[in-house]
Amino acid sequence: MAQIFAKWTNKLPTIIAVAVVVGGVGVVAGINYYFSPKFTDVGYRPKQPVPYSHKLHAGDLGMDCRYCHSTIEVSSVANVPPTQTCMNCHKAILPESEKLAPIRESYATKVPMQWVRVHKLPDFVYFNHAAHLRAGVGCISCHGNVAQMEEVMQKQPLSMGWCLECHRNPGPALRPVAEITNMNWVTPTDQARLADSIIAAKEINPPVDCSGCHR
């Protein structure tokens, strides 16, 4: 009696099993990446009302982050500079620039500039900006090297997993407090020893339980 199915069909169960496993792994990996902040948030670069260049101000001119973001070391929330801060310089520098017309209008009308926020955590997350800086976490660890950015963009996922990685092992992100805004800081060869001394001196023990960030 002739066989109904070809001989190669004997391999079908193995082929199907392999396809299911490989396909399943691919689907899980795809969802893990393409539905995560690494894909959806990293690279976010909104258009701002004024084309402010961090590369020019923080990079070429060497302005310290704290001149504009003046409360970052004492406030739980990082401040966006008021128009007055911009006009401290631009009353004299490029006072007729067309690009700065919205700044001058804001200053004259006392209506704040509507800057578009780049780094935003969910409302159910508690994050204390000052606490991290006082511990010695440099701006570049979370924001990237803004001194090289014409337009600020999100460089890190700011996800729960990403935060927990640092909380479980904060050493690589720590530096002397005097260097927190230094975008040219070079990690020393004895970073582990430096981190251990900072952790011991400041008694750093980042929370890894839910209540640390969800209050």
- 155 assigned to some structural domain: yes
Confidence of residue 30 (pLDDT cuts 50, 70, 90): low
Q: Determine if residue 86 is labeled as part of a ligand binding site.
A: no
Tokens (6 digits) for 207: 């929370």
- Answer yes or no: is 15 within a domain: no
Determine the Cα–Cα distance for residues 90 and 111; give it in Å rounded to an integer.
17
Instruction: Kindly report, residue by residue over 179-193, the tens digit of the pLDDT.
Output: 999 999 999 999 999
Residue 196, in any domain of the structure: yes
CA–CA distance, 118 with 43 (Å, rounded to integer):
10
Q: What phi-psi label fits residue 184: left (phi over 0), alpha (psi between -120 and 50 degrees) or beta?
A: alpha
State pLDDT tens for residues 59-78.
999 999 999 999 999 999 99
19 pLDDT band, cuts 50/70/90, is confident
Please calculate the CA angle 143-67-103 and round it to the nearest 5 degrees: 90
Q: How far apart, in whole angstroms, are the C-alpha atoms of residue 48 and residue 62?
A: 22
> What would the pLDDT profile of 93-144 be if each residue is shown by its tens digit?
999 999 999 999 999 999 999 999 999 999 999 999 999 999 999 999 999 9
Judge whether 5 lies within some domain: no
Residue 48 within any structural domain of the chain: yes
Cα gap 18→66, rounded to integer Å: 56
| Distances 77 to 71, 100, 179, 200 between C-alpha atoms, Å | 8, 27, 20, 26
- The whole-angstrom separation of Cα 161 and Cα 37 is 10
- Is 139 annotated to bind ligand? yes
8: in domain: no
143 marked among binding-site residues: yes
Q: Which domain holds residue 125?
A: 40-80+115-212
Residue 55 lies in a domain: yes
129 labeled part of a ligand binding site: yes
Query: If you search the block for the tokens 């009696």, which residue do you land on?
Result: 1
How many domains is the chain partitioned into structurally?
1
Please determine, for residue 1, whether its predicted confidence score (pLDDT) is greater than 60.
no
DSSP states of the chain: ---SS-GGGGGHHHHHHHHHHHHHHHHHHHHHHHTSHHHHTTT--PPPSS---HIIIIIIS---HHHHSTTTTT-SSPPPPPHHHHHHHHTTSSTT-GGGHHHHHHHHHTPPP-PPP-----TT----HHHHHHHTB-HHHHH--GGG-SS----S---HHHHHHHHH--GGGB--GGGTT-TT----TTHHHHHHHHHHHHT-----SGGGT--
The answer to the question of residue 165 being in a domain is yes
Q: What is the pLDDT of residue 15?
A: 80
57 annotated among ligand-binding-site residues = no
